[in-house]
Structure 1
Amino acid sequence: MQVNVYLAGEIHNPWREQLRRQAGELSLPVTFTGPMENHDRSDNIGEEILGEQSSKIAKDEAASSINNLRTQILMTKSDVVIAFFGEQYKQWNSAMDAATAIAMSKPVILIRDPKLHHPLKELANKAQVVVETPDQALRALAYIFES
């Protein structure tokens, strides 16, 4: 059984690389997808496709629509979503992705530091599993392959 995992969350942290490496070491039958991890490409994709925009706001809107298309398609094809919330950055995209996954009835593994319990309590309540580290998320995912 191959499982498609959408990795939502902070892009300024190597947590995705860590999960991919550990999943490979464990030979887990998973395929990882997620948002564009090249921040410049993500920010500029609207203008790359639609041409130069009239303002920074228009540029952001153009990129957002194309990034949302990517997210919608890849998340729809996923079997489970792992959403990582770090301390350093505002996590609007992570929250939106986790809420979208929940609305799509996708199983969600939420990774958050205990310090973020209060601001994420509603999302955590809807997630199937809440953990504190990417390693714990991978161990929860690995458990489904045990017989």
Structure 2
Amino acid sequence: MELIVYLAGQIHDDWRKTLKDKASEKKLPITFVGPMENHDRSDNIGEEILGQQPNTILKDEAASKMNNLRTRVLMEKSDIVIALFGEKYKQWNSAADAASAVALNKPLILVRPAELHHPLKELSEKAQVTVETIDQALHTLAYIFDND
């Protein structure tokens, strides 16, 4: 059995690479997918496909439509969604992706520091599992394959 795991959440560090590398070290049969990690490409994809837009609002809307399509297709194909909320940045995309996972009835692993317990309490109640670190999320994934 192989799982497809959508990695939603903050984009300002390399948590996805860290998680992928650790999963590979454990030889877990997982394919990871997620949002476009090239921030400039994500911001400009609407104009890349549709051509120059007349103002920044329409540029953002065009990019959002392309990014939302990508997210929906990959999330619908995923078996599990991991949404990471960090301490440093406001994470509207993380919240939207986690809400999408819930709406699509996808199992959700929510990763958030203890300091964010209160603002994320409702979302945490909708997740199947809430953890504080990516290592805990990885161990949760590994447990799915544990036959002992």
Identity of aligned residues (%): 68
1:87 — aligned with what?
A: 87
- Whichever residue aligns with residue 38 of structure 2, its letter is N
2:41 equivalent in structure 1: 41
How high is the TM-score relative to the length of structure 2? 0.98
Residue type at the aligned position of 1:15: W
Deviation per CA, 1:19-57: give whole Å up to 9, x if none: 000000000000000000000000000000011111111
Match of 2:112 in 1: 112
Amino acid at match of 2:50: L
Q: CA RMSD in A?
A: 0.5
SS at match of 1:144: helix
Report runs of 4+ in structure 1 exceeding 2 Å deviation: none
Equivalent residue number for residue 52 of structure 2? 52
Q: How far 1:119 sits from its partner (Å)?
A: 1.0
In the aligned structure 1, how far is the partner of 2:59 from the partner of 2:95? 22
Aligned equivalent of 1:132: 132
SS in structure 1 at match of 2:145: coil
Taking structure 1 as the reference length, what is the TM-score of the superposition? 0.99
For 1:46 and 1:119, locate their aligned partners in 2 and report how far apart those are by CA, in whole Å: 32
- Cα distance, 1:74 vs structure 2: 0.0
Q: Separation in 2 of the partners of 1:131 and 1:108?
A: 11
Where does structure 2 lack aligned partners over 5 or more consecutive residues?
none
Long gaps (5+) in structure 1: none
Is the counterpart of residue 77 in structure 1 residue 81 in structure 2? Answer: no
For 1:48 and 1:88, locate their aligned partners in 2 and report how far apart those are by CA, in whole Å.
31
Report how many residues are paired: 147
